[in-house]
């Protein structure tokens, strides 16, 4: 398939590479040229503008947040440049309000729209092993299935309303943030009693919480390995905020979300916004004044 790909950040680079390896013809656009040039060496074409990338059978976008997506896709008129009958696959984690607005815009312009946020970190994206949550018209999802299959190990459909995929992704990230915060607090408690975080987390992630999320982030906390970030504190703060906003709209209280947001805000205030969000362990230790004990 002829695919335009917009957004070559830590996730997008690996995803676009998987499309190339699957034999698709990929045209890429990115704000900074380095990532695009690296993919060009692997066979990708480089678009001069977002609109140029959008003029293909399928457009895939992977941008950081609502603001970036609006600037790159809407203000640039990239969506307006899409051909009738083509489909846009938006794989970013965006707010419910933005998801609704994008769905309405595409419908008005007569082009397809699929929300397909992903579960997985950059290494998972680079391996083509993402789990993809997809929502949109059945015909549109079927049309882009070769694209989704090239980037992920499984596609999890959630109906025809695109915003449902975004809500599921926001809820999943809220659960991840809560898991990281619980490990951060619990390992800080054990450290206060002379038990190394690595010893404690080795126990719980191989018994009560023997799952990929706990094991992966538990290892990062145990090793105090917060840079380079796979998912930053800044993005975590954004996503927990999206969960709280979605809860407000439907009168769903998320008290854990409020607590984790405050922890992430503390990290931002201390200049740690670009560290991995597993660095919540540093916030917990700092607030417990472990360094002074």
What angle do the packed helices 162-192 and 96-109 form, to 10 degrees?
160
* C-beta separation of 106 from 130 below 8 A: no
Distances (CA, A) of 172 to 114, 212, 242, 280: 19, 14, 12, 18
Sign of the dihedral defined by the CA atoms of residues 140, 146, 151, 157, in that order: positive
Measure the CA–CA gap between 18 and 123, rounded to whole angstroms.
12
Active site residue 129: no
The pLDDT value recorded for residue 60 is: 98
The pLDDT value recorded for residue 163 is: 97
The pLDDT value recorded for residue 44 is: 98
Measure the CA–CA gap between 180 and 194, rounded to whole angstroms.
21
Q: Which helix (H) or strand (E) holds 60?
A: strand 58-61
Token pair recorded at residue 281: 């362990």
Exactly one of 169, 219, 275, 292 is catalytic; name it: 169
The pLDDT value recorded for residue 71 is: 97
Measure the CA–CA gap between 59 and 93, rounded to whole angstroms.
16
The pLDDT value recorded for residue 293 is: 85
Tell me the domain boundaries of the chain.
2-160, 167-292
- 267's CB contacts (< 8 A; 6+ apart) are 233, 237, 273, 275, 279, 280, 282, 283
Per-run averaged pLDDT (10 residues), the chain, 293 residues = 97 98 98 94 97 98 96 97 97 97 97 98 97 98 98 98 98 98 98 98 98 97 97 97 98 98 98 98 97 88
Looking at domain 167-292, does it have CATH number 1.10.1040.10? yes
Measure the CA–CA gap between 26 and 48, rounded to whole angstroms.
14
CATH class of 2-160: alpha beta
The pLDDT value recorded for residue 12 is: 97
- 243's CB contacts (< 8 A; 6+ apart) are 170, 171, 173, 174, 254, 257
Cross-strand bridge partners of residue 134: 157
DSSP assignment letter at 75:
I
The pLDDT value recorded for residue 265 is: 98
């Amino acid at each position: 398939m002829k695919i335009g790909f917009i957004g070559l950040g830590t996730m997008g680079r690996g995803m676009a590479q998987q499309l190339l390896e699957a034999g698709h013809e990929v045209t890429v656009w990115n704000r900074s040229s380095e990532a695009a040039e690296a993919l060009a060496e692997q066979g990708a074409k480089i678009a001069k503008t977002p609109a140029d990338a959008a003029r293909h059978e399928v457009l895939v976008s992977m941008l950081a947040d609502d603001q970036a997506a609006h600037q790159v896709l809407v203000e640039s008129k990239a969506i307006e440049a899409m051909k009738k009958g083509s489909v846009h696959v938006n794989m970013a984690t965006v707010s419910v309000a933005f998801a609704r607005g994008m769905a309405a815009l595409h419908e008005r312009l007569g082009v397809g729209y699929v929300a397909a946020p992903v579960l997985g970190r950059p290494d998972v994206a680079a391996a083509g092993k993402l789990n993809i949550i997809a929502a949109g018209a059945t015909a549109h999802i079927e049309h882009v299935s070769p694209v989704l299959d090239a980037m992920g190990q499984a596609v999890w459909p959630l109906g025809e309303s695109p915003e449902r995929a975004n809500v599921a992704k926001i809820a999943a990230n809220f659960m991840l943030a809560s898991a990281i915060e619980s490990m951060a607090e619990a390992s800080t408690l054990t450290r206060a009693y002379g038990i190394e975080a690595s010893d404690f987390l080795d126990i719980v992630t191989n018994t009560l919480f023997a799952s990929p999320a706990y094991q992966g982030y538990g290892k990062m906390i145990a090793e105090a390995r917060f840079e380079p970030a796979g998912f930053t504190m800044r993005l975590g703060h954004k996503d927990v905020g999206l969960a709280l906003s979605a809860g407000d709209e439907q009168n769903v209280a998320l008290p854990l979300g409020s607590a984790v947001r405050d922890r992430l805000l503390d990290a931002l205030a201390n200049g740690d916004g670009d560290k991995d969000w597993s660095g919540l362990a540093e916030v917990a230790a700092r607030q417990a004044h472990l360094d002074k004990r």
